[in-house]
């Protein structure tokens, strides 16, 4: 198991976390929900850095291109209703 403390790095993630902690923003449900979704998107991006990748070739209209594609099968599951915005962010 790897533990990543993203809050120690400068990131836009810190802005979204600060906003969901702010009591005035917590009253704006749409903004709160959108910030949770944005946090999910950033966490999904950070999570993707830990996947295993292998080189692959993709045929494009301009020719062949080398890309690294993940070899992991990822399953995203939300159990609690409050986790739906975070789930949607991870899916994005």
- Please give the pLDDT value at position 43: 87
- Please give the pLDDT value at position 6: 74
Among 36, 53, 47, smallest CA distance to 75 is for 47
Q: Which CATH number fits domain 12-91: 3.40.50.12160, 3.30.60.50, 3.90.1300.10, 3.40.50.2020?
A: 3.40.50.2020
pLDDT digits (tens, 9 = 90+) for 35-88: 999 999 998 888 888 899 999 999 999 999 999 999 988 888 877 777 888 888
**pLDDT-based confidence at residue 92 (cuts at 50, 70, 90):** confident
- Please give the pLDDT value at position 66: 95
Domain range list for the chain: 12-91
pTM of the model as a whole: 0.76
The Cα–Cα gap between 28 and 23 comes to: 9
List phi, psi (to 5°) of 84.
Answer: -60, -45
- Please give the pLDDT value at position 34: 92
């Amino acid at each position: 198991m790897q533990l990543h403390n993203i809050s120690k790095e400068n990131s836009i993630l810190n802005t979204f976390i600060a906003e969901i902690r702010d009591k005035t923003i917590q009253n704006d449900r749409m903004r709160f929900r959108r910030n949770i979704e944005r946090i999910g998107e950033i966490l999904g991006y950070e999570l993707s850095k830990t996947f295993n990748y292998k080189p692959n070739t993709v045929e494009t209209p301009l020719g062949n291109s080398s890309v690294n594609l993940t070899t992991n099968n990822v399953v995203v599951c939300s159990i609690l209703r409050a986790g739906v915005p975070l789930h949607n962010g991870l899916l994005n």
